[in-house]
């Protein structure tokens, strides 16, 4: 709703003050203030456009505004390291011995015995080659 000009035109500061206090200011239908938003009412479609290959998150270990974390390199994954949320390359230390054992046990549980043993051997050879290559 556009503001209507005062009639008659104010002649001094007092007239302008009275006119300003009498004007009802109502936002147009295309705008909404944050105080008018209901909790959890904003959908993903209503958020701002995001860069390609990114997630909206808070990267620091504190409260505050979110940012767009862009994955600028292939072969990375989102991880928390050193109290930061970031895109990173998998490192040898990210895979623990327990994780490898659990993975091999899962292979043994779901595949027939000969295939499971071949798969476990393949995993062990692959891990060994990657560990020695990284050194």
pTM: 0.45
Neighbour count for residue 131 (Cβ, 10 Å)? 11
Q: Would you say 56 and 31 are in contact if contact means Cβ atoms under 8 Å apart?
A: no
Residues in the chain: 135
Given a cut of 70, is residue 119 above it in pLDDT?
A: yes
In angstroms, what CA-CA distances link 96 with 51, 90, 102, 130?
33, 12, 10, 14
Average pLDDT over residues 2-6: 67
Q: Comparing 116 with 84, which gets the higher pLDDT? A: 84
Q: Which residue has the higher pLDDT, 54 or 132?
A: 54
Mean pLDDT, residues 105-118: 82
Average of per-residue pLDDT values in the chain: 81
Which pLDDT does position 117 carry in this prediction?
Answer: 81
pLDDT (0 to 100) of residue 132: 59
d(CA 54, CA 61): 19
- pLDDT of 134: 53
Q: 6 versus 84: which is more confidently predicted? A: 84
């Amino acid at each position: 709703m556009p503001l209507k000009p005062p009639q008659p035109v104010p002649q001094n500061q007092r007239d302008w003050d009275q006119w300003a206090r009498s004007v009802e200011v109502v936002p147009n239908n295309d705008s909404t203030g944050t105080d008018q938003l209901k909790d959890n009412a904003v959908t993903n479609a209503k958020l701002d456009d995001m860069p390609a290959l990114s997630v909206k998150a808070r990267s620091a270990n504190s409260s505050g505004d979110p940012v767009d974390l862009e994955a600028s390199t292939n072969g990375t994954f989102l991880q928390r390291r050193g109290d930061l949320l970031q895109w990173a390359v998998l490192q040898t230390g990210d895979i623990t011995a327990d994780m490898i054992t659990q993975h091999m046990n899962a292979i043994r549980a779901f595949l027939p015995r000969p295939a499971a043993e071949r798969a476990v051997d393949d995993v062990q050879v692959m891990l060994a080659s990657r560990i020695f290559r990284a050194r």
